[in-house]
Amino acid sequence: AQSVTQPDIHITVSEGASLELRCNYSYGATPYLFWYVQSPGQGLQLLLKYFSGDTLVQGIKGFEAEFKRSQSSFNLRKPSVHWSDAAEYFCAGGFGNEKLTFGTGTRLTIIP
Amino acid sequence: DTAVSQTPKYLVTQMGNDKSIKCEQNLGHDTMYWYKQDSKKFLKIMFSYNNKELIINETVPNRFSPKSPDKAHLNLHINSLELGDSAVYFCASSPGLAGEQYFGPGTRLTVT
């Protein structure tokens, strides 16, 4: 079955430190992939997307993600986090016209 | 300009009541969705409409009935509300059947 897995439920990093959030997918072929961010009390905001082509994708707010077919991964990275990055992060994948499958989310806490 | 809007933002009601949530998108998208997010932040798709036609109808109690009067609107009516219906409901839209989705701010439904 198609799935998207976020292995980390909760991650804590210091402000200014680098960040990597993990996402693994399980599809029969290369899916299209997304990262969304949800701040408290808000809707989901699209950070970046991958459909094909360049495997390093740049997004908004200084985030990037790298698609690695060999590892079935699409990890989200940021070189230096800000306190405002504290939020819930969701990875999502889809294939063809099928519905998007969301991961269970990773809650990011930033400590001063 | 708000791309995807929902009303109301908060809804508190008693068990057994009937309530509706409205969603509007001004992005010119063809496809709209309803998601339910539970207290653990898990996102589950409920319905999807493409050009006013129902295309995804997940295993949702038939107390939930979506209606799409036009491509820009997708409403959700819930009959005989139960405690377990308490959640945040998100509306989303996308240009077509595949691709990135844009989310509304959510409606927090509390059933007492």
pLDDT digits (tens, 9 = 90+) for A19-34: 999 999 998 788 899 9
Q: What is the CATH number of the domain that holds A48?
A: 2.60.40.10
Chain B touched by A39 (CB under 8 Å): no
Q: Which chain A residues are closer than 8 Å to B104 by Cβ?
A: 43
What's the mean per-residue pLDDT of chain B? 93
Size of interface A-B (CB pairs under 8 A): 47
SS3 A57: strand
Distance CA A81, CA A57 (A): 18
Residue A2 reports pLDDT greater than 90 = no
Q: Which domain holds residue A77?
A: 3-111
Interface contact A99-B45, CB threshold 8 A: yes
Q: Which residues of A68-103 are buried (b: 16+ CB within 10 A; e: fewer)?
A: eeeeebbbbebeebeeebbbbbbbbbbbeeebbbbb
Query: By C-alpha distance, which of B97, B102, B100 is closest to B50?
Result: B97
The contacts of residue B44 (CB under 8 Å, 6+ apart) are B35, B36, B37, B38, B58
Query: Looking at the partner chain, which of B41, B101, B102 has a beta carbon nearest the beta carbon of A100?
Result: B101
Distance CA A37, CA A24 (A): 17
The pLDDT-based confidence of B51 (bands split at 50, 70, 90) is confident
Which domains, ranges and CATH numbers included, belong to chain B? 4-111 (2.60.40.10)
SS3 B8: coil
Chain A touched by B3 (CB under 8 Å): no
The pLDDT-based confidence of B56 (bands split at 50, 70, 90) is confident
Chain A touched by B105 (CB under 8 Å): yes
> What's the confidence (pLDDT) of residue B1?
64
Overall number of domains in chain A? 1
A74 to chain B, closest Cα gap in Å: 16
- Across the range A41-59, mean pLDDT stands at 94
Residues 55-84, chain A: which have Cβ within 8 Å of B? none
Which of A3-7, A86-90, B98-102 has the least mean pLDDT? B98-102
B9 to chain A, closest Cα gap in Å: 10
- Across the range A78-94, mean pLDDT stands at 96
Q: Name the DSSP letter for residue A102.
A: E
A57, A65 in Cβ contact below 8 A? Answer: yes
| Distance spanning both ends of chain B, measured CA to CA | 34
Instruction: Respond yes or no on whether the N-terminal peptide bond of residue B8 is cis (omega within 30° of 0).
Output: yes
- Across the range B103-109, mean pLDDT stands at 96
